[in-house]
Amino acid sequence: MQGHMPYPAVVFDNEYYLVMANQAMQAMMARMVALGAEFPARPNFPLSLLDSKGMKPFVGDWENIACHMLQRLYHEHLAGPFRDQPNRLLEQALAMPGVPENWKSHVVEHLDYPAIPFTLNLGDQQLRIFSTIATIGTPLDVTAQNLRIEHFFPMDEPTKAYWQG
């Protein structure tokens, strides 16, 4: 994660709860808090994304990104080993105020891209970003199999300068 500096990187567990964040991600979250966001001690990424007190006010094209996240939660659950059990995280997400009702049928732009681009608006700074998510395929430690590592990358020079500055 430190090797990805100066850009943000995070590690999530299989339910998208934050396990680790590098200094760039911590700084970005601290900037959101300074601008009014509220995060629990151990944030859940999809729930924070959908929460008007979390990341929602900062995400450009929020509806598209929210639908993408909800569709991902839905499909990952169906493809997972516990598909016969309730999808509790999706249920929690859908119970949040303002979640798009058409999330399942919403056509997400750029879904055929290897990474979905998005914009974060941090005060007067607009960050154009994309991210990649990696999982551990054959771990020596079985608990590592449930981890997701997400790396964020700048899409333009002003965003690159924000983190390199």
Residue 97, domain extent: 45-115+124-133+149-154
- Asked whether residue 5 is assigned to any structural domain, the reply reads no
Letter for the amino acid at 104?
Answer: K
Whether 85 is covered by a domain: the verdict is: yes
Is residue 107 included in any domain, yes or no? yes
Q: Which amino acid is at 76?
A: E
pLDDT digits (tens, 9 = 90+) for 1-20: 899 999 999 999 988 999 99
In degrees, rounded to 5, the angle at the alpha carbon of residue 58 between the alpha carbons of residues 54 and 25 is 75
Predicted local confidence at residue 140, as pLDDT: 56
pLDDT above 90: residue 145: no
Enter the pTM of the model: 0.87
Q: Whose CA is closest to 16, among 93, 119, 111, 108?
A: 93
Is-cis flag, bond preceding 6, omega within 30?
A: yes
Asked if residue 39 belongs to a domain, the reply is no
Q: Say yes or no to pLDDT of 115 above 80.
A: no
Rounded Cα gap, residues 117 and 9, in angstroms:
16
**Total number of domains constituting the chain:** 1
